[in-house]
Structure 1
Amino acid sequence: MKSSFKRSPTRLAFGLGAAGLVCSSAAWAQAPTALPLWEIGAVALGVSQQAYPGSDQNVGRGLALPFFIYRGQVLRADRGSLGVRAMKSPSFELDLGAAAAFGSNSEDISARQGMPNLGTLIELGPRLKWKLGSAPGGGTWRAEFPLRAVFDLSDDAAHRGWSFEPELAFERRAKGGWRYSTTLGLIVADQALAATFYQVTPELATLTRPAYTAQSGLLGWRLGTSFSRSLNPDWRMFGFARIDSVAGSANQNSPLVRQTTGASVGLGVAYTWMRSSERAGD
């Protein structure tokens, strides 16, 4: 697998897109009980990720950003939630979720030479979370069903389509302050979002990259794992590894798909500068 570590020209978009990942990782790294109502801190994170599902190249990113976490009963900015929590019961929760994917410069990706850059994408939309109960080893099972609109921060927040990303997660807190999570999910996209990654218009076709019309449907599969550990009350470390596959996907035959499976990894540390004495309600 080839790697590219050149910085994207859209630095502002990169920082904004990373904010959701930062808040989610920093929040997940903590114990689930008696959490502060709000926290302010900073995080340093290094990521090597597949340029897009099906690419044979990785792009590298390193950043340091502030983060803000708020755990209100209704207003939330915590663990991938952003905005309003509409409903919560012992088994179900409905909220507005957010996710982000870093952009990449097409000139750094051989399959996309001469094509538009892949911008930093941010996803916003409702998410249903379902607590499935206890799992082996003292862990818990959870299912999530996010439906999200996708916007390109590198292009004035232009709408790029819709995605549906159901996911099954296993979480476990072990001795010594370690926490682990394993997730298995899939991504279903409409034609507009699929075209962002896989369509080749006739004017951009070459001898080795024929024209291709992207199809809606299964975009890919994801298997991921993450870990975190509190080093002291203010410092935490966290990391993740993820495998993405386009096997059996609607656009597996696109000329932009160069390999079926690719990997992404990340490692970071978070520092909490200030926190409230008031505890969150849940």
Structure 2
Amino acid sequence: MPTPQARHRARALMGCVLLMAAAGHTAQAAQEQPLWEVGLGAAALHFPAYRGSDQGQGLLLPVPYLVYRGDFFKVDRDGVRAQLFDSDRVELTFSGALSPPASTRDVRARAGMPDLRATFEVGPQLDLTLWQTQRRSATLKLLLPVRAAFTLEQRPQHVGWVFHPKLNLDVAHVGGLAGWNLGLQAGPLWGDRRQHNHFYGVTAPYATGERPAYAAAAGFGGMQYVVGVSKRYPNHWVGAFLRYDNLTGARFVNSPLVRTRHHVAAGVAVSWVLGSSATRVAVDD
């Protein structure tokens, strides 16, 4: 069973990824920037215990700020990724994602069941540029990630596959505000049977009169919508995001662990850049 400290570390890491990935990552004209930047900040987050839970939690966490702009390996507001192939309209990357843990002590629907471990996802992602302005101040992309999911623990367990195609619109200097970037994402999720059962399955030993046994099926996992804003100042970065999930029509919606079909996650963060590389690289940031 993960310790409270391990759960907090997982939540802190998840919060950092959520904020940096969701708070806008606008493509602009190429410019020179440091090869790497490091810093530290704080984030205030509120999110459900899992998609479909009617219980949420709020956290105030320290989060790291890390950017690396290598030719192949990159760490930026898109997350941790490896760029495998690039062209003007098509980009193949290697990306990841995280989901938080949930303790049975904190979630009534899972009372008596094993703790829900944090998971990480990793796999290839194909990005297709559908439209962009001449000066690249606005870009519309179709993102096609396929990821394998594993529990985040000493001995990770494979917990299925996730496919999350989404439209992504990035707009620079939104509303005429210099430096403020807007990011919008929308798309469905699909998962296999193992993925859905990790979150929504109820095996016979944990079935009760109010929580019958349930085996989840593979397929549609609901819709997800994200809006994020961010701005980079000379020595610090600020960002915020709002995410809405709608589970109507999901294959697991009849699970006794699904207590609501609608929920919202949100977060704000500020990070201070404490150091950067003297080496400069040309990037489309």
Alignment TM-score, normalising by the size of structure 2: 0.88
- CA shift, 1:280, in A, is 2.5
The equivalent residue for 2:266 is: 265
Distance 2:207 2:57 in 1: 24
The equivalent residue for 2:25 is: 28
1:122 corresponds, among 112, 120, 123, to 120
Alpha carbons of structure 1 residues 32 and 115: separation in structure 2 relative to 1, 3 Å: farther
Q: Which deviates the most, 83-92 or 258-267?
A: 83-92
Residue identity matched to 1:131 = T
Residue identity matched to 1:14 = R
Q: How many residues align?
A: 274
Residue identity matched to 1:110 = R
Distance 1:176 1:154 in 2: 43
Cα deviation per residue 1:95-137 (whole Å; 9 max; x = unaligned)? Answer: 11011112121221111111111212111111111111137x9
Alignment TM-score, normalising by the size of structure 1: 0.89
Verify: 1:222 aligned to 2:219, yes or no: no
2:10 corresponds, among 7, 10, 13, to 13
Distance 1:138 1:76 in 2: 22
Distance 1:8 1:277 in 2: 36
- CA shift, 1:198, in A, is 0.7
The equivalent residue for 1:171 is: 170
The equivalent residue for 1:140 is: 139
Distance 2:89 2:225 in 1: 24
Q: How much identity, in percent, do the aligned residues show?
A: 31
Give the gaps of 5 or more residues in structure 1.
Answer: 1-6
Distance 2:73 2:200 in 1: 37
For residue 203 of structure 1, give the secondary structure of its aligned residue in structure 2. Answer: helix
CA RMSD of aligned residues (A): 2.4
After TM superposition, list the pairs within 5 Å mapping 1:201-220 onto structure 2: 201-220=203-222
Give the gaps of 5 or more residues in structure 2.
Answer: none
Cα deviation per residue 1:208-241 (whole Å; 9 max; x = unaligned)? Answer: 11111111111121011000123x3011210000
Q: Which has the higher contact order (CA 8 A, sep 6+)?
A: 2
Cα deviation per residue 1:243-263 (whole Å; 9 max; x = unaligned)? Answer: 011101111111111111100
- Kept after mapping to 2: 8 A contact 1:167/1:184: yes
Distance 2:78 2:116 in 1: 23
- CA shift, 1:54, in A, is 1.3
The equivalent residue for 1:183 is: 185
The equivalent residue for 2:75 is: 77
- Kept after mapping to 1: 8 A contact 2:23/2:182: no
- Kept after mapping to 2: 8 A contact 1:87/1:94: yes
- CA shift, 1:43, in A, is 2.5
